[in-house]
Structure 1
Amino acid sequence: MKILITGFEEFGEEAFNPSWEAIKRLPDEVMKCQIIKLQIPTSFNRSWEVVEHAMELHRPDIILCVGLAGGRPAITPEKVAINLAEARIPDNDGDQPIDQVIRPDGETAYFTNLPIKAMVKKMRDAGIQADVSYTAGTFVCNAIMYHVLHTVYQSETTMKAGFIHVPYATEQLEDKPRGTPAMSLDSISHGLLLALEAAIAQEDAMEFESGTIS
Structure 2
Amino acid sequence: MTRILLTAFEPYDRWKDNSSWLALIDFTSWYDGSHDITTRRYPVDLPKLRQQLREDLAANYDFAIHLGQAPGASLIKLEAVGLNMRTNGEPLLVDAPAAYRTSLDLIACQERLLAAGIPTSVSHHAGTYLCNAALYMSLHYSHEMGRRTESLFVHLPLTPAQVVSDGSSHASMSTPMESAAIALIVEQLAEAPSH
TM-score of the two chains, using structure 2 as the length reference: 0.92
Residue type of the partner of 2:116? A
CA separation in 2, counterparts of 1:152 and 1:113?
12
Tell whether 2:39 aligns with 1:37: yes
Deviation, 1:31, is: 4.2
Q: 1:157 deviation in Å?
A: 3.3
Within 1, Cα distance between the matches of 2:36 and 2:5?
Answer: 9
Trace 1:21-170 onto structure 2 (pairs within 5 A).
Answer: 21-27=22-28, 31-56=33-58, 58-86=59-87, 98-170=88-160
Indicate conservation of the 8 Å contact 1:110/1:146, yes or no.
yes
Whether the 8 Å CA contact 2:62–2:150 is kept in 1: the answer is yes
Residues matched between the structures, number: 191
Q: Which moved more, 1:155-164 or 1:71-80?
A: 155-164
> By how many angstroms is 1:129 displaced?
0.4
Runs (4+) of structure 1 exceeding 4 A deviation are 28-31
What is the CA–CA distance in structure 2 between the aligned matches of 1:203 and 1:176, rounded to whole Å? Answer: 45
Q: Secondary structure at the match of 1:67?
A: strand
Gaps of 5+ in 1: 87-97, 205-214
**Aligned residues of 1:79 and 1:116 also touching (Cα < 8 A):** yes
Unpaired segments ≥5 residues, structure 2: none
Distance in 2, Cα, partners of 1:139 & 1:157: 25
- Secondary structure of the 1:26 match is helix
Q: Does 1:171 align with 2:161?
A: yes
Would you say the 8 A contact 1:114–1:202 is kept in 2?
Answer: no
SS of the equivalent of 1:65 reads strand
2:98 counterpart letter in structure 1: T
* Contact 1:145 1:162 (C-alpha < 8 Å) held by counterparts: yes
Residue pair 2:109, 2:185 contacting (<8 A) in 1 also: yes
Displacement of 1:203 after TM fit?
A: 6.3
In 2: Cα distance, 1:173 partner to 1:68 partner = 12
| Deviation for aligned residue 1:153 | 2.5
Q: Secondary structure in 2 aligned to 1:195? A: helix
Equivalent-residue separation in structure 1 for 2:140 and 2:123 (angstroms): 19
Q: Over aligned residues, Cα RMSD in angstroms?
A: 1.7
